[in-house]
Structure 1
Amino acid sequence: MGLFGFWLVLAVCGPFFAPYAPGQIIDTEVFAPLSHRHWLGTDYLGRDLGSRLLYAVRYTVLICTLSTAFSCSCGILLGIATTAMPAWVEQVAGRLMDGILSIPSLLCALLVIAAFGDSLLALILTMGVIYTPGAYRTSRALALRIARMDYITVAMARGEGAFFIIWKEILPNMRGPLLADVGLRFIYAVLLLSNLSFLGLGVQPPLVDLGSLVRENVLGLVYGSAAVILPTVVIGALTVGINLVLDGTSRR
């Protein structure tokens, strides 16, 4: 919780403490080392890396959290709802999800962004739609297995309605696997956003995210610059942190 909570707090409060604007060039020395003036050094244009990293964490966490919430909410609700609907509804929903799932995620994102632009809203909706089929298939498989349990039969025999059975009987028994799946969706979202930013189609300047920090400063790897090393470390810590939290929660 501390590992993930640190980055979450940094995403919310970090930019308020940034000494410079994310696009402001404040030094003529590129890939400068750590100093009292630039506590994380500078990037390839002489911009303060500490300030840019604070903004990058905010946009990465914001976009990936919202897109994960969108995909998991839609996928889980649709997956559970189709178990109580006529067979033709499940077949239509299943074929639609299979169609989206058959397109590689990066290619699908490139096509949508090329057609509708690379705004923050377009990124969130695109990433959310891409990962909805995975959440749908996971939740539907779990719901079908739980629906055959004896306690569901007992609840139906008591005369309980479909909403009560879903909310009180099915969802609580799906919590563990679903939380683990949410963690995977978040990792996928971070990786997809990083790939898009590395290709120049993610968050656009002067805004910045962790993937674009790596892309911009990749030449600094030759000099061992923190401008390319730190964003990759943050991506790893962020994804590992949220999965440790969700795995720990799902086992309780």
Structure 2
Amino acid sequence: MSYSCFSKAPFTAKLGLVVIIGVFCTALFAPLIAPYGQAEVVGDEFMPWSASNILGTDSIGRDILSRLIFGARNSVGMAVITTILAFIIGSVLGIFAAVLRPFYDQLISRVVEVFMAIPSLIFQLLLLAAFGVSFLNIVLIIAFVDSTRVFRLVRAVSIDIVQLDFIEAARLRGEGLFYLVFKEVLPNAAGPMIVEFGVRFCYVFLSIAALSFLGVGIQPPYADWGSMVRENAALIGYGDITPLIPAGAIALLTVAVNFVVDWRLRIMSAARD
């Protein structure tokens, strides 16, 4: 992305990029930024905001600001890894289904539709109950469930591409399957896939936060924005806005990513016109 392209971007896109860069820098340098460790007990429970504890302490005396900073690393880091894995699974299946039509396309599509018929959150809770709660299981289960959505979009885009003349010309030249997939279809499907990656990241990020809020996501002592809302929810009854801060961080990052995705969609629409 060139500087001239960024300078012409709407204010919402610029704001979104600033928020995204800020969150990712916070996640990357969390140990250097946070005043305390994410599991370190620094005082009594639910201490008010002060100079030593800017956002107070939680239910067992841990510094909320430090946990908020480490929560960016844990929540965003897991969401990025999960989204990448979901995209690898869904994109590979989607492109190969489009290229290998019709038998493999119908077979994979029918299996995917069965999994998509189950509500995502219920399906994730069911699989976590069956396989247990761990970092690896959370990543694999959410990636598996979300890859079905990636498959549908990539398949639809790829089907339109494989019907074009240059694909038929490549087939007539005797090009193999992997050439068609990686040299012809994938480069032409990259634009919509980049946009979908941002959308999928938001869904994965919110899924991780929801699971943590329910107590089956990232487990203590690791900090997570979703679990921080649940752990400090009792403060709302006393007029303390502290539980709203991690909730606001979740909303802010989600909106920021959507701002950038919307800008990317406008660029793609202008290019087609």
TM-score normalised by L of structure 1:
0.91
Matches of 1:225 and 1:63, distance apart in 2 = 29
Aligned to 2:48: 32
Matches of 2:78 and 2:31, distance apart in 1 = 16
Is 1:5 matched up with 2:21? yes
Measured after TM superposition, the shift of residue 226 of structure 1 is 4.5
- Native 8 Å contact 2:55 2:64 kept in 1: yes
Aligned to 1:216: 231
Aligned ranges for residues 42-81 of structure 1 at < 5 Å? Answer: 42-81=57-96
Matches of 1:140 and 1:124, distance apart in 2 = 23
Q: Secondary structure at the match of 1:227?
A: coil
Aligned to 2:116: 101
- Native 8 Å contact 2:99 2:159 kept in 1: no
Aligned to 2:182: 167
Measured after TM superposition, the shift of residue 124 of structure 1 is 0.3
Aligned to 1:15: 31
Q: Is the deviation greater in 153-162 or in 129-138?
A: 153-162
Measured after TM superposition, the shift of residue 16 of structure 1 is 3.3
- Native 8 Å contact 1:43 1:227 kept in 2: no
Runs of 5+ consecutive residues of structure 2 not aligned to the other structure: 1-16, 269-273
Match of 2:140 among 125, 134, 137: 125
Give CA-to-partner distance per residue, 1:179-207, whole Å, 9 cap, x none: 22111211111121111111111111111
- Native 8 Å contact 1:179 1:247 kept in 2: no
Q: Secondary structure at the match of 1:21?
A: coil
Measured after TM superposition, the shift of residue 42 of structure 1 is 2.0
Give CA-to-partner distance per residue, 1:110-154, whole Å, 9 cap, x none: 111112211100100010001011100110011111111233334
Matches of 1:188 and 1:31, distance apart in 2 = 34
Q: Secondary structure at the match of 2:38?
A: coil
Q: Secondary structure at the match of 1:19?
A: coil
Aligned to 1:202: 217
Q: 1:226 to 1:23 in 2, by over 3 A?
A: farther
TM-score normalised by L of structure 2:
0.84
- Native 8 Å contact 1:40 1:226 kept in 2: no
Q: 1:29 to 1:204 in 2, by over 3 A?
A: closer
Q: 1:29 to 1:117 in 2, by over 3 A?
A: closer
Matches of 1:68 and 1:158, distance apart in 2 = 36
Aligned length, in residue pairs: 251
- Native 8 Å contact 2:55 2:65 kept in 1: yes
Match of 2:201 among 172, 180, 186: 186
Q: CA RMSD in A?
A: 2.0
Q: Secondary structure at the match of 2:29?
A: helix
Measured after TM superposition, the shift of residue 9 of structure 1 is 1.2
Q: Structure 2: which amino acid aligns with 1:212?
A: S
Matches of 1:185 and 1:56, distance apart in 2 = 20
Identity %: 35
Q: Structure 2: which amino acid aligns with 1:72?
A: F
Q: Structure 2: which amino acid aligns with 1:11?
A: A
Measured after TM superposition, the shift of residue 170 of structure 1 is 2.1
